[in-house]
């Protein structure tokens, strides 16, 4: 006998758990199946994001930032604290505590919203039947629902001749758990994970070399921002080697020997730890029975239309397992939209205004089109920019690196993209997302009062500079 639900969600990450809560709020009888297990051996909801992604990486970024400030920046403020030391075990304990609080919080929200949670592996059969292999028993449970959401997330991509061993050659999971600061850390892929986790261990004292296959650094970002970021990271000691192909990596004793082919031909590099962060792939292993009817794309993602519908009526898919950026907020918004559509409400997602943030120092954040994208598309635009070095708040903070760059349609002045590199870029971008969602113009932002002294004044001045009337810079 199958247990009946209005909605069964497979996957309890930001896509799945948020969809389940929203569906329950809307009165649907909802179950969510998640197979992730925490360090205590029990279910740990929240997916990659809460367990081994967004949250633990930001916890370590903040810890390492404090250490770095203490070592390098506080003397300027007249603060003397002697030579700092890092207790890695305590740093990891703090991170684990934050993760446990949040994953437990999701379980609490499930209870409060009456979402039935199953700890185990879900598999979609024909006719929206879902088989659950429970984690702590050999039993299988059968569920049946009018609607099913697949939210199975993603896993790291592996490259040939570089096998993960979980200790010396690791993915994000291992790089969040090093029990000591590696003296030499190699990172394959100078993308988001490589830069964030590379920064963590570099700030704590590791010599970090990033091996990037592409000739361009941060190819997704606006070129001006990527260029400035490259300069800043170099100053911090991150050694980013572009156009570098990794041919193989082998563990020898307690070292990793890496053969690369770069601008200087073939070379051998030796590291104490190697992080592989070359992107992630949709995870659909054992998710779909042969007769489930759900189609995959050539790239192995679950095929969906613009409203997250799969090839099977009543089966939907959201988050990292489908097309679009692999971002937690994108997954969650898709989950909410699907839950609302299932409940008969109008819902949509505006993919053009999904913000991106890279939590390095300086932070990098953007929304909308880059200047190179506008050029390629032949769109006429006007650009405005403003450096944080010309803001009182940036100088008072002792962190005035970076700028805001705004791109607006040359004729209508509608904002087409905003690109920020600097302190708190992750928070500053929100104003720009709102402006773009409302179809706002640079003139709109230019006419809005921004508090003084704040970093948001740089957004204001960049908007003014689109029309060449910024006050605190020569236009
Ligand atoms: P996931 O979070 O991967 O969740 C999927 C869940 O489904 C997992 O718990 C998995 O175990 C479970 N599952 C899979 N198959 C089954 C099955 N058959 N049965 C039962 N359960 C199953 N994004 C940001 O927006 N901001 C950040 O700062 C950020 N930082 C990141 C840092 C790192 C190191 C990493 C790796 C990622 C980061 N991301 C960040 C990306 C973000 O984590 C993902 O985009 C997000 O978690 C995707 O959510 P999801 O629900 O689609 O999938
Ligand atoms: P990524 O796509 O950001 O970066 C991968 C990098 O590896 C790219 O620069 C790529 O050119 C390079 N690369 C690919 N193959 C290579 C090879 N064989 N040798 C050398 N370099 C190679 O991927 P990621 O850093 O693994 O992160 C995965 C995803 O997780 C991101 O795309 C992002 O969506 C998400 N994420 C987001 C955040 C955030 O929002 N702050 C943080 C971490 C991860």
- All CATH 3.50.50.60 domain ranges in the chain, comma separated: 3-156+281-349, 169-278
**Ligand number, closest to the Cα atom of 186:** 2
pLDDT value at residue 264: 87
Q: Is 150 in the pocket of ligand 2 (CB under 6 A)?
A: no
Which residue is listed with tokens 């008072």?
396
Res 464: pLDDT: 98
Query: In the prediction, which pLDDT does 263 show?
Result: 87
> What integer pLDDT is reported at residue 349 of this predicted model?
86
The pTM of this model reads 0.98
- Which CATH topology does 3-156+281-349 take? FAD/NAD(P)-binding domain (3.50.50)
Q: Which two tokens stand for residue 464?
A: 């003014």
Residue nearest to atom 23 of ligand 1 (CA): 327
Residues counted in the chain? 475
- Residues involved in catalysis: 452
For ligand 2, mutation pick of 153, 192, 328 (most atoms within 8 Å of CB): 192
Domain with CATH 3.30.390.30 in the chain: 353-466
Query: Do residues 124 and 315 make contact, with C-beta atoms less than 8 angstroms apart?
Result: yes
Q: Which residue's alpha carbon is nearest to atom 8 within ligand 1?
A: 47
CATH class in words for 353-466:
alpha beta
Per-residue pLDDT, 348: 86
220-253 exposure pattern, b = at least 16 Cβ within 10 A, e = fewer: ebbbbbbebbbebbeebebebbbebebeebeeee
Domain range 169-278, CATH architecture:
3-Layer(bba) Sandwich (3.50)
What pLDDT was estimated at residue 1? 75
Mutate to test the pocket of ligand 1, among 10, 13, 335, 349 (most ligand atoms within 8 A of CB): 13
Euclidean distance between CA atoms 195 and 217, whole angstroms: 11
Q: Which residues, given as ranges, of the chain have pLDDT below 50? A: none
């Amino acid at each position: 006998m199958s247990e009946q639900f209005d909605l069964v969600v497979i996957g309890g990450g930001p896509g799945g758990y948020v969809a389940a809560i929203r569906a329950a709020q809307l009165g649907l009888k909802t179950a969510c199946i998640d197979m992730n297990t925490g360090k205590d051996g029990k279910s740990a909801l929240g997916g990659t994001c809460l367990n081994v992604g967004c949250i633990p990486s930001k916890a370590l970024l903040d810890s390492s930032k404090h250490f770095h400030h203490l070592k390098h920046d506080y003397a300027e403020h007249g603060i003397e604290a002697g030579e700092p030391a890092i207790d890695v075990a305590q740093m990891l304990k703090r991170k684990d505590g934050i993760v446990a609080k949040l994953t437990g919080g999701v379980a609490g929200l499930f209870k409060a919203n009456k979402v039935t949670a199953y700890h185990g592996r879900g598999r979609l059969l024909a006719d929206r039947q879902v088989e659950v292999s429970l984690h702590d028993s050999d039993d299988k449970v059968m569920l049946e629902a009018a609607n099913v959401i697949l939210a199975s997330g993603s896993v790291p991509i592996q490259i040939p001749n570089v096998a993960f061993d979980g200790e010396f050659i690791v993915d994000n999971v291992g790089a969040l758990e090093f029990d000591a600061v590696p003296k030499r850390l190699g990172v394959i892929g100078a993308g988001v994970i490589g830069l964030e986790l590379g920064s963590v261990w570099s700030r704590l004292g590791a010599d970090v070399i990033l091996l990037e296959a592409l000739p361009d650094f941060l190819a997704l970002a606006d070129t001006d921002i990527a260029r400035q970021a490259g300069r800043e990271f170099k100053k911090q000691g991150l050694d980013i080697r572009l156009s570098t192909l990794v041919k193989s990596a082998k563990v020898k004793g307690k070292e990793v020997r890496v053969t690369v082919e770069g601008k200087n031909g073939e070379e051998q590099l030796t590291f104490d730890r190697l992080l592989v962060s070359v992107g992630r792939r949709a995870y659909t292993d054992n998710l779909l029975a042969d007769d489930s009817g759900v189609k995959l794309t050539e790239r192995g993602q679950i095929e969906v239309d613009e409203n997250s519908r799969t090839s099977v009526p009543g089966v939907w898919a959201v988050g990292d397992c489908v097309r679009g950026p692999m971002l937690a907020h994108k997954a969650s918004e898709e989950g909410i939209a699907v839950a609302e559509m299932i409940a008969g409400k109008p819902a949509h997602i505006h993919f053009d205004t999904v913000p991106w943030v890279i939590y390095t120092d300086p932070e990098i954040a953007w929304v909308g089109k880059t200047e190179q994208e506008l050029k390629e598309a032949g769109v006429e635009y006007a650009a405005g920019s403003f450096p944080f070095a010309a803001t009182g708040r940036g100088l008072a903070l002792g962190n005035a690196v970076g700028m805001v760059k705004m791109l607006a349609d040359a004729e209508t002045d509608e904002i087409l993209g905003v690109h920020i590199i600097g302190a708190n870029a992750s928070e500053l971008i929100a104003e720009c997302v709102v402006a773009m969602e409302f179809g706002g113009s640079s003139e709109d932002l230019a006419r809005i009062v921004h508090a003084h002294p704040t970093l948001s004044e740089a957004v204001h001045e960049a908007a003014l500079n689109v029309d060449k009337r910024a006050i605190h810079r020569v236009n």
